[in-house]
Structure 1
Amino acid sequence: MNLIPVEIDSIRIGQPLPCDLVDSNGILLARKAFVVASRADLEMFYNRSGGLFIDGVDAEALRKAYIDQLQTLMRKEKSIGEIAESKLMVDKATKREVVTTDRVDWRDLQVEAHILLRDPNREHFKWRLEHVFRTLQRESHRNPNGVLFALIQLSASETSMYSATHAMLVSVMCGLAAREVLAWPEHVEMLLCKAALTMNVSMTELQDKLTSQKRPPDDTQLAQIDSHAQRSVDILKSVGIEDPTWLQAVAEHHAQAPGDLRSKTPAQRLARMIQRADMFAARLSPRLSRPPVPPAVAMQACYFDENKQVDEAGAALIKAVGIYQPGSYVRLASDEVAVVVRRGTNTSTPRVAVVLNRSGMPTAEHAVRDTSQKDYKVVASVAHSEVKVQIHLDRLLPLTQTTGNDRVW
């Protein structure tokens, strides 16, 4: 039995336990679903057993219980302070290992990232950041098409947690470009992805608010936007982030600095990659003040730099994720509308799944088309707002898996 200590304050009084509690020798103290009636009872367990522990195999059950608790608090519109008080049942002195599962619940991860970025001044910030980062990194290696599909779909349809979804999408895009196109070392890729995740940590709440605000930002909001990069650096320093390259990349992630990446400092290279990906991802997301633009149009904006020249970082992003990214919609030569599920043999020939037939009616089954074939070539991008079909991630994510006939570039 691999015992993991849990914090006494993380156990909810009056709620069923999500798994068995044992003592330091693995002897059962309370079975799963047992309800701890009072704080006094809990302290008695703790003092009698020299601490509270769980079996390592139950770690995923604890994670799910934690996410369910966060989602319940959000549905009840609790304050961010109350939500942040929720604690994962793992002792802070213990080395934590990210639990590997066969399937990621993307909406759960959305909630985790949302809480992480809305409340960065807590003792668990660095671990929570590592958890989100490692999950994204693992899935980006295992199934990059699936990660892009999930995040682009969520970016275009979900506004209540816009900032977190945006940060994850930018992080994933940057990581793919760094690894698959630019062949940057792993430690550089990791810094890039973490900097992208935390670039807007000082204005997460404001970003979420602006997605549902009809009027333009007022003077106070504009001042917050203008100062957010440095304020994000200050927050990261306050929670123990010390890497100078990471911090400088966050500080300069809105700098307009065209030019060859090799002529820049390491931090400036990361900042430029983030700036280009940030620009692309922001255009995908709907706001009350404007609809999202088609992904192909958004990608064009990051392909050319401020001098109307091809941007090296923007070009690397396009090569990594494609002109038609997984999760985006396209119209085919067959007059069908399809959602992109996999990158193809080149940037403009993805594999797609039909969602609207030639008559514009939703399809019961999602036939997969190879757009490198003349009859099914892509003739146009289609904005998410124009496709009145509900996409079920669980149903379509299996189609994103790369097959032996696909080449990832």
Structure 2
Amino acid sequence: MSNKRISISDIQLGQPLKWDVYGSDGGLLLRRGFVVTNSNQVDILLQRGLYLGDDDEKEDPLVDADGRKIFPKTLERSSVVRMISHIREELAVLSFNLDQEPEARTKFLALAKQTMIATYLDSDVALGCILLHQNGGYAVRHCVDVAVVSILVAKALKKSDDEIIFLVAACLSMNIGMLSHQEHLQGKSEGLSREEQEMIFHHPEQSVQMLKAAGVNDETWLSWVLHHHENEDGTGYPGKKGSADIPKNAKIISIADRYCARICSRSYRKSLLPSAALRDILIGGKSTVDLMLVALFVRELGTYPIGTFVKLENGEMGVVTSKGASATTPYVHALTSPWGAPLPAAIKRDTQKTLHGIREVLHRDQVPVRFSMRHLWGEIAME
């Protein structure tokens, strides 16, 4: 790997990268062929990226219809959706084989960095994956979902990249202590047994013990895992700690955990609409959560979080795809005509406009159309 940092002259918007891009620790961030589409992505690469030298350019490129060079073996991670899928798959392997993994700490941190990069590259697509790309088992997927939401809140709080990486590692490993049972619990239609309740109550402690046994000895990381189910009023578990004794990053994980759990359907209940999930936490958990942090979550996710299905005033149905001028006026991609017929292509709507204002929020099964995330966000969301 070359030790030359990427410069502004090395990156062209709309053009594929000419090198595999690595972070300062040598970990792969993006493969050659990734098409840089906006200035935010350029900033990320300039801040974090190193690239390979001339030996990496020996592969003959293909040329697409627009004359752009595409490297055939390097499209594996050219979309945020694929990056998120890869993270979920690798996390599942690591988590379920933790006792056989001699480099667990290093691998958790590598996955944390990949999650952060994916979220920074396009936070809209990363958030969209929570509701629109629910592949893989719930238990591991939930941890990645919580990590994505936590990254956005931590970034809004201006936390350093180094701190965010460890915060994400805590998100990815927070449920290690009950992971093997979580899929079973997810599918239960009856109440929990006493043994299951005990297992849930003690899973933060069990997770810490398992992480220590696997070589994780970072005090802050372990503390955030241990405290992520504690409540402001001391009614949480396992230690019944009060607000002053709960680390702020554990509070971030806790709220993200509650939000992501509420918007996921269970066998015993239907999922909450995303617009109602944070309101439910804010109203129903006044004494148990940090209300200032919940307000920040609402600001960052919006009244209508990305991935929410809505009906517009003109009768069109679609999906929230990005923030708008205010928390209540996001951009929506319409998927159906006012009469419910599927549109040949999704149409971007500004919900500030009266005709395209949001009339109501819908469940997925109320929108009678099939689509992929690529239809909404383009190549960055290719599955």
TM-score, normalised via structure 1 length: 0.67
* Aligned with residue 186 of structure 2, among 207, 211, 220: 211
Give the partner amino acid of 1:354: A
* Aligned with residue 334 of structure 2, among 354, 361, 370: 354
* Aligned with residue 135 of structure 1, among 106, 114, 136: 114
Structure 1 pair 284–202 and aligned structure 2 pair: CA distance change class (3 A): same
Q: CA deviation at 1:289?
A: 1.3
Q: Does 1:343 align with 2:319?
A: no
Q: Does 1:378 align with 2:358?
A: yes
* Aligned with residue 177 of structure 2, among 185, 202, 225: 202
Distance of 1:177 and 1:346 partners within structure 2: 17
Give the partner amino acid of 1:250: V
Q: Give the 3-state SS of the residue equivalent to 1:176 in structure 2.
A: helix
Q: Does 1:109 align with 2:87?
A: yes
Q: CA deviation at 1:308?
A: 8.6
CA deviation vs aligned residue, 1:178-214 (integer Å, no higher than 9, x gap): 112x222333322222211211111122222222232
Q: Is the CA contact (8 Å cut-off) linking 2:224 and 2:247 kept in structure 1?
A: yes
CA deviation vs aligned residue, 1:361-386 (integer Å, no higher than 9, x gap): 33221111011111111122212343
Q: Residue 315 of structure 1 aligns with which residue?
A: 295
Root mean square deviation of aligned Cα: 2.8
Distance of 1:309 and 1:268 partners within structure 2: 13
Q: Residue 284 of structure 1 aligns with which residue?
A: 263
* Aligned with residue 220 of structure 2, among 240, 245, 255: 245
Structure 1 unpaired stretches of 5+:
3-54, 59-98, 402-409
Q: Is the CA contact (8 Å cut-off) linking 1:203 and 1:224 kept in structure 2?
A: yes
Please say which of residues 145-154 and 205-214 is displaced more in the overlay.
205-214
Q: Is the CA contact (8 Å cut-off) linking 2:105 and 2:214 kept in structure 1?
A: yes
Q: Is the CA contact (8 Å cut-off) linking 2:78 and 2:380 kept in structure 1?
A: no
Q: How does 1:21-60 map to 2 (within 5 A)?
A: none
Q: CA deviation at 1:306?
A: 3.1
* Aligned with residue 125 of structure 1, among 104, 108, 129: 104
Structure 1 pair 202–293 and aligned structure 2 pair: CA distance change class (3 A): same
Q: Give the 3-state SS of the residue equivalent to 1:353 in structure 2.
A: strand
Distance of 2:350 and 2:379 partners within structure 1: 13
Please say which of residues 337-346 and 120-129 is displaced more in the overlay.
120-129
Q: Residue 230 of structure 2 aligns with which residue?
A: 255
Q: Residue 17 of structure 1 aligns with which residue?
A: none
Structure 1 pair 151–100 and aligned structure 2 pair: CA distance change class (3 A): same
Q: Residue 152 of structure 2 aligns with which residue?
A: 176
Q: Percent identity?
A: 23
CA deviation vs aligned residue, 1:264-320 (integer Å, no higher than 9, x gap): 46x611111111111110011112111111001111123344339971111111211
Q: Does 1:163 align with 2:146?
A: no
Q: CA deviation at 1:395?
A: 2.9
Q: CA deviation at 1:132?
A: 2.2
* Aligned with residue 394 of structure 1, among 363, 368, 374: 374
Q: Residue 9 of structure 2 aligns with which residue?
A: none
CA deviation vs aligned residue, 1:309-337 (integer Å, no higher than 9, x gap): 97111111121121212212112111221
Distance of 2:289 and 2:106 partners within structure 1: 40
Structure 2 unpaired stretches of 5+:
3-53, 58-74, 235-242
Please say which of residues 376-385 and 313-322 is displaced more in the overlay.
376-385
Q: Is the CA contact (8 Å cut-off) linking 2:320 and 2:330 kept in structure 1?
A: yes
Give the partner amino acid of 1:283: R
Q: Give the 3-state SS of the residue equivalent to 2:247 in structure 1.
A: helix
Distance of 1:309 and 1:146 partners within structure 2: 28
Structure 1 pair 100–123 and aligned structure 2 pair: CA distance change class (3 A): farther
Q: CA deviation at 1:57?
A: 5.6
Runs of at least 4 residues off by over 6 Å: none
Distance of 1:278 and 1:148 partners within structure 2: 14
Q: CA deviation at 1:177?
A: 0.8
Q: Residue 236 of structure 1 aligns with which residue?
A: 211
Q: CA deviation at 1:258?
A: 5.7
CA deviation vs aligned residue, 1:34-71 (integer Å, no higher than 9, x gap): xxxxxxxxxxxxxxxxxxxxx9969xxxxxxxxxxxxx
Q: Residue 309 of structure 2 aligns with which residue?
A: 329
Structure 1 pair 251–309 and aligned structure 2 pair: CA distance change class (3 A): closer
Structure 1 pair 330–384 and aligned structure 2 pair: CA distance change class (3 A): same
Q: Is the CA contact (8 Å cut-off) linking 1:163 and 1:204 kept in structure 2?
A: yes
Distance of 1:137 and 1:268 partners within structure 2: 21
Q: CA deviation at 1:256?
A: 0.9
Q: Residue 132 of structure 2 aligns with which residue?
A: 153
Q: Does 1:226 align with 2:204?
A: no
Q: CA deviation at 1:400?
A: 7.9
Q: Is the CA contact (8 Å cut-off) linking 2:231 and 2:288 kept in structure 1?
A: no
Distance of 2:380 and 2:352 partners within structure 1: 17
Q: Residue 365 of structure 1 aligns with which residue?
A: 345
Q: Is the CA contact (8 Å cut-off) linking 1:277 and 1:302 kept in structure 2?
A: no
Q: Is the CA contact (8 Å cut-off) linking 1:341 and 1:350 kept in structure 2?
A: yes
Q: Is the CA contact (8 Å cut-off) linking 1:303 and 1:310 kept in structure 2?
A: no
Distance of 2:175 and 2:128 partners within structure 1: 23
Highest CA radius of gyration, 1 or 2?
1
Q: CA deviation at 1:388?
A: 4.0
